[in-house]
Chain A
Amino acid sequence: MANKTRVCARVNGEQVEFLCEPYQSLLECLRDILGLTGTKDGCNDGNCGACSVLLDGQLVNSCLVLGVEIEGREVTTVEGLADWRGLHPIQLAVVEEDAVQCGYCTPGILIAAKALLDREPNPSERRIRTWMAGNLCRCTGYDKIVRAIMRAARSCAQYDPPLYNGRNKARR
């Protein structure tokens, strides 16, 4: 069996270091090694979006990235959205619009929505639905999710990105 590889990266703003097998996916490394179980496994082949994370700000399915590939890179998961100041505007909008039912797709939805709003502050409903097509939700019928993203687009404008500092670390 292959020797474990040492990987150093920034995850949610914190420097992390871990050992993993070369064949372990980023999803497995986040959940089983780093204990960040907020990122979900829904299909493990890139068709449901539940495992969505940001890799250097780029939206990816963490099931289709090897853990060893994140060496020296920055990963953002759902656990990194809120900071000591409270919920991120996208999280807040999802709560306010009742866009959560079972909540299993929610972490991926939040990350995908953030990736969209980071690029396009004012997407149309059609654009949101097109962008979110990679994130399956079986409970909500999507309506409240789309409304939440539109609401978040309005509030994101006046929001400073999370600050990662001691208080923030202590919080997790």
Chain B
Amino acid sequence: MRPFEYQAPTSIGEAVALLADTGERARPLAGGTDLLVQLRRGLLEVDLVVDVKKIPELNRISFHPVEGLTVGAAVACAVLCEHPDVRAAYPALIDAASIIGGPAIQGRATIGGNLCNAAPSGDAIPAMIVVGATCTVAGPGGTRAVPVETFCTAPGRTVLGEDEMLVSIRFPAPMPNSGARYLRFIPRGEMDIAVAGAGAWVLLSDDHAQITDARIALAAVAPTPLLADAAGASLIGKAPTEDAFAEAAKLAREAARPIGDVRGTEAQRRHLVGVLVKRALRGAVRRATGDLATPSGRSTEPVQGGRNHG
């Protein structure tokens, strides 16, 4: 691996200063499960790696029934998946965080890193998009908020400036009668990158007879994780029926802009979008009506499109 320096600042201010000084040849290091692989393969060259795991704000998980949830950018998936409030209030986040690699990867990988890596296939991103999460970004001039759906701009690219870093991700408090679900398809039971992924969030009327709001987001079928507005909007005012799901799935397939690559063909991805959106909607509605549990702990039993799942 090409040599680089290592710094582990203990405050956001120091970290931002280090990034600002070195510019584009510096990178923050959280879990390192993507960064170190890219450096080793020579896909990326840096002079400085800034380990952000020693900064308190980036390691915090705080939950308030009204304020909602804040997850530090350096919180490991394993830690997130074991947090009782997160498990209770944000099951879709667990759906995603618990399938990013096996247990050894989850001990390091972070949803913040998943976001900053900006891979089209990043599992956590659609799960965050559908529940309306926003990123808190720190720079020399202080902090700014960025909605997750606009954070990634291209494969491997984000809105972050050279002197900016992701501090945390805020999730609004879950509304009653709402539910969310994330599912992906991979060939093996675990350890693969999503061929396609779909997240769904629904808000039901008090009698659960009608969908009053919905959001659908997709992974691995566009240059960035994709918010499928039309697909979500199509559900509003409808009863949570298979017909409604099928219509949303059709619109999601149309919104997808997949490519064919080593992991799947364009046709296969487009088809999977339809399958996964339907399964994710069924799961989201079951969560809204309280009859689908949160997956158990990290590296949970696979829920990604395998038989009898979703």
Contacts and interface: CB of A to CB of B under 8 A. Distances in A.
Interface of A: 1-2, 5, 21-23, 25, 44-47, 49, 52, 55, 58-61, 63-66, 68-69, 112, 115-116, 126-127, 129-131, 133-135
A135 B101 CA distance: 11
Interface string B27-69: 0010111001101110000000101010000000000000000
Interface of B: 1-6, 8, 29, 31-33, 36-37, 39-41, 49, 51, 53, 76, 78, 101-105, 107-108, 188-191, 299-302
A24 to B, nearest CB: 8
Contact of A64 (B37, B41, B53, B191): B37
B101 A46 contact: yes
Contacts of A112: 103-104
B3 to A, nearest CB: 5
B45 to A, nearest CB: 11
Contacts of B3: 1-2, 21-23
Contacts of B36: 25, 63-64, 66
Contacts of B49: 22, 66
Contacts of B1: 23
B4 A134 contact: no
B299 A46 contact: no
A128 B191 CA distance: 15
B102 A65 contact: no
B40 A134 contact: no
Contacts, number: 95
B32 A130 contact: no
A130 B302 contact: yes
A64 B32 contact: yes
B293 to A, nearest CB: 15
A109 B176 CA distance: 43
Contact of B103 (A21, A44, A131): A131
11 contacts: A22-B4, A46-B33, A52-B104, A66-B32, A66-B51, A69-B51, A126-B301, A130-B190, A130-B300, A130-B301, A134-B103
B105 A134 contact: yes
A63 B103 CA distance: 15
Given A64-B37, A133-B188, 19 more contacts: A2-B3, A2-B5, A22-B5, A22-B6, A25-B36, A44-B40, A46-B33, A46-B105, A49-B102, A59-B107, A60-B108, A61-B104, A64-B32, A64-B105, A69-B51, A127-B301, A130-B299, A131-B103, A134-B191
B4 A47 contact: no
B190 A134 contact: yes
A123 B223 CA distance: 40
A131 B204 CA distance: 35
B299 A133 contact: yes
A68 B6 contact: yes
Given A45-B37, A64-B32, A66-B36, A134 B104 contact: yes
A76 to B, nearest CB: 13
Contacts of B302: 130
Given A115-B103, A133-B189, A23 B32 contact: no
B5 A46 contact: no
A64 B103 contact: no
B86 to A, nearest CB: 18
